[in-house]
């Protein structure tokens, strides 16, 4: 493809074009400032590629999502979350021996250091589990400071984050921590640590295990979103894996990102408590003088159905039916979706339900409390963050991430002593 040409102050600059393996086109502006003195400005990075990556492909116009080339629909139908972790991090589907070894490692590294258990005592029982998760993941670097053992640290993080998440839930409900069991798979072990109590045996439901596996797979990666870009930003300074991922957890927490799944359920509950008049809330979402947004709708990249939302809508029906749960908020969600898909405001802006719209309804049917929803998203996203961190870490030409700015503050001014200031 021919170079791009950019004319600034009458002077023409040639800029190379980069073409991806799915024919996506980017103009490489990395030398533009050196040649012209000008930078490019892109508020919110809506049109800026921050890296080349071989991990996840999204075509937001067509509603396509693939991990390492495999369509999300096929992975959701056939894969285990552990396989998807391996696929994202190491770039290929594991063969039987590789999968068994990886799974074994995850099982062997599920305990957290007993000293770390004391950290939980210091948090108030009202602490949001995302605060605990990010603090504990950063703390892992104090226990595993050997940064050269990347593969082992990856295993530790994948396995121990699950234990930390379950313990943070136990802390919030005032129950004793339940240790992992080595004869349980990744998802079963999490459910066991979450829901088992010493007083009675806990029978792990295959429906819950299947639903959890699906939810984790659907959240596993989503290319350069806010939290992943945060992981890469922090990691670009050569900060260690645990510190970088802990920063990603914090970025995910926000209500415009992973925190939206908690907000969706709270919104649906609010509409229900207010008599179920969803049309009133649709009008509020369109009203620019109101700060109300339809949570779980819209996406920076998808201008078509989020393929994850399509899968989750079907799964919500199936899981609720299998568990015998009748949740009135599911009907409200479907009504909101129907209205939005036919309303010019949403149609013109290409606003569709995103992954967070139906996931919370499934988590709730599984008895997972609302403030754990974003933690569930984080557990799912872990392999994606790790894969993206590792891709950058392995790229010896990677530079520290350091965007520029256009300064719009005061011009140079003279210092004024305090007694002479207005």
The piece of 118-126, 235-243, 254-262, 266-274 that touches ligand CMC (CB under 6 A) is 254-262
Reduce the DSSP state of residue 408 to 3 states and report it.
coil
* CA 146 to the chain's CA centroid: 26
Interacting positions 19-48 with ligand CMC (CB under 6 A) = 44
Strands annotated E in 112-256: none
If we measure between CA atoms, which residue out of 354, 332, 350 comes closest to residue 341? 350
Interacting positions 337-356 with ligand CMC (CB under 6 A) = 349, 351, 354-356
- Is 293 near ligand CMC (CB under 6 A)? yes
What is the dihedral sign for C-alpha 267, 268, 271, 272?
Answer: negative
- Is 258 near ligand CMC (CB under 6 A)? yes
Closest CB to ligand CMC among 110 and 227?
227
The piece of 152-160, 292-300, 389-397, 409-417 that touches ligand CMC (CB under 6 A) is 292-300
- Is 257 near ligand CMC (CB under 6 A)? yes
Determine whether 299 is an active site residue: yes
Contact assessment for residue 268 and residue 332, using Cβ atoms and an 8 Å cutoff: yes
Angle CA 204–209–215, to nearest 5: 150
Determine whether 356 is an active site residue: yes
- Structure tokens, 238: 């050569």
CA–CA dist 387, 157 (Å, integer): 12
Residue 91 CB: number of other CB atoms within 10 A? 14
Query: Which alpha helices (DSSP H) does 7-149 contain, by range?
Result: 32-36, 72-78, 81-90, 96-108, 114-122, 129-143
Closest CB to ligand CMC among 141 and 359?
359
* Contact code string over 200-239 relative to ligand CMC, x by CB under 6 A: ----------------------x--x--------------
**Of all helices (H) and strands (E), which one includes residue 26?**
strand 25-27
Closest CB to ligand CMC among 84 and 196?
84
Q: What is the size of the binding site for ligand CMC (CB under 6 A)?
A: 21
Radius of gyration of the chain (CA): 23
- Is 285 near ligand CMC (CB under 6 A)? yes
- Is 358 near ligand CMC (CB under 6 A)? no
Residue in 221, 327, 356, 371 annotated catalytic: 356
Give every CB contact of residue 413 below 8 A, 6+ residues apart in sequence. none
CA–CA dist 38, 280 (Å, integer): 48
- Structure tokens, 293: 């947004």
Closest CB to ligand CMC among 8 and 256?
256
Closest CB to ligand CMC among 44 and 198?
44
CA–CA dist 315, 277 (Å, integer): 25
The piece of 154-162, 273-281, 297-305, 328-336 that touches ligand CMC (CB under 6 A) is 297-305
Residue in 128, 192, 219, 299 annotated catalytic: 299
The piece of 30-38, 198-206, 252-260, 362-370 that touches ligand CMC (CB under 6 A) is 252-260
The piece of 237-245, 274-282, 298-306, 368-376 that touches ligand CMC (CB under 6 A) is 298-306
Q: Which residue is nearest to ligand CMC (CB)?
A: 298
- Structure tokens, 8: 């600034």
Interface positions with ligand CMC (CB under 6 A): 44, 222, 225, 256-258, 260, 285, 293-300, 349, 351, 354-356
Question: Annotated catalytic sites, by residue?
Answer: 299, 356
């Amino acid at each position: 493809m021919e170079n791009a040409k950019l004319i600034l102050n009458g002077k023409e600059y040639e800029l190379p074009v980069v073409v991806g393996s799915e024919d996506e086109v980017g103009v490489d502006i990395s030398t533009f400032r050196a040649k012209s003195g000008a930078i490019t400005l892109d508020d919110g990075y809506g049109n800026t590629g921050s890296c080349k990556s071989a991990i996840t492909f999204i075509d937001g116009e067509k509603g396509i999502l693939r991990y390492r080339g495999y369509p999300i629909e096929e992975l959701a139908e056939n894969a285990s979350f552990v396989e998807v972790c391996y696929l994202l991090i190491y770039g290929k589907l594991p063969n039987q021996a590789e999968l068994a070894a990886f799974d074994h490692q995850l099982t062997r590294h599920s305990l957290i250091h007993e000293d770390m258990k004391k950290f939980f005592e210091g948090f108030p029982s009202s602490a949001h589990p995302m605060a605990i998760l990010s603090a504990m993941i950063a703390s892992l670097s104090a226990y595993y400071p050997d940064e050269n053992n990347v593969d082992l640290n990856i295993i530790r993080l994948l396995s121990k984050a699950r234990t930390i998440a379950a313990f943070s839930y136990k802390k919030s409900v005032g129950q004793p921590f339940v240790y992992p069991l080595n004869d349980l798979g990744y998802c079963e072990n999490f459910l066991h640590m979450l829901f088992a109590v010493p007083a009675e045996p806990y029978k792990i439901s295959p429906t819950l295990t299947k639903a959890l596996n699906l939810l984790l797979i659907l959240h596993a990666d989503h290319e350069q979103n806010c939290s992943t870009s945060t992981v890469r930003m922090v990691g670009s300074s050569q900060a260690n894996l645990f510190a970088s991922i802990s920063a990603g957890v914090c970025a995910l927490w926000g209500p415009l990102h992973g925190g939206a799944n908690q907000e969706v359920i709270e919104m649906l509950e609010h509409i229900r408590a207010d008599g179920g008049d969803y049309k009133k809330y649709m009008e509020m979402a369109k009203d620019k003088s109101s700060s109300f947004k339809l949570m779980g709708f819209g996406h920076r990249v998808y201008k078509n159905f989020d393929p994850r939302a399509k899968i989750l809508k079907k799964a919500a029906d199936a899981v609720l039916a299998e568990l015998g749960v009748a949740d009135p908020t599911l009907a409200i969600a479907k009504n909101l979706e129907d209205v939005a898909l036919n309303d010019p405001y949403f149609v013109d802006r290409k606003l569709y339900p995103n992954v967070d719209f139906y996931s919370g309804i499934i988590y709730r049917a599984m008895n997972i409390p609302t403030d754990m929803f974003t933690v569930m998203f984080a557990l799912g996203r872990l392999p994606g963050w790790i894969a993206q961190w590792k891709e950058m870490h392995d790229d010896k030409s990677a530079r520290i991430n350091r965007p520029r700015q256009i300064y719009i503050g005061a011009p140079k001014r003279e210092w004024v002593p305090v007694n002479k200031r207005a």
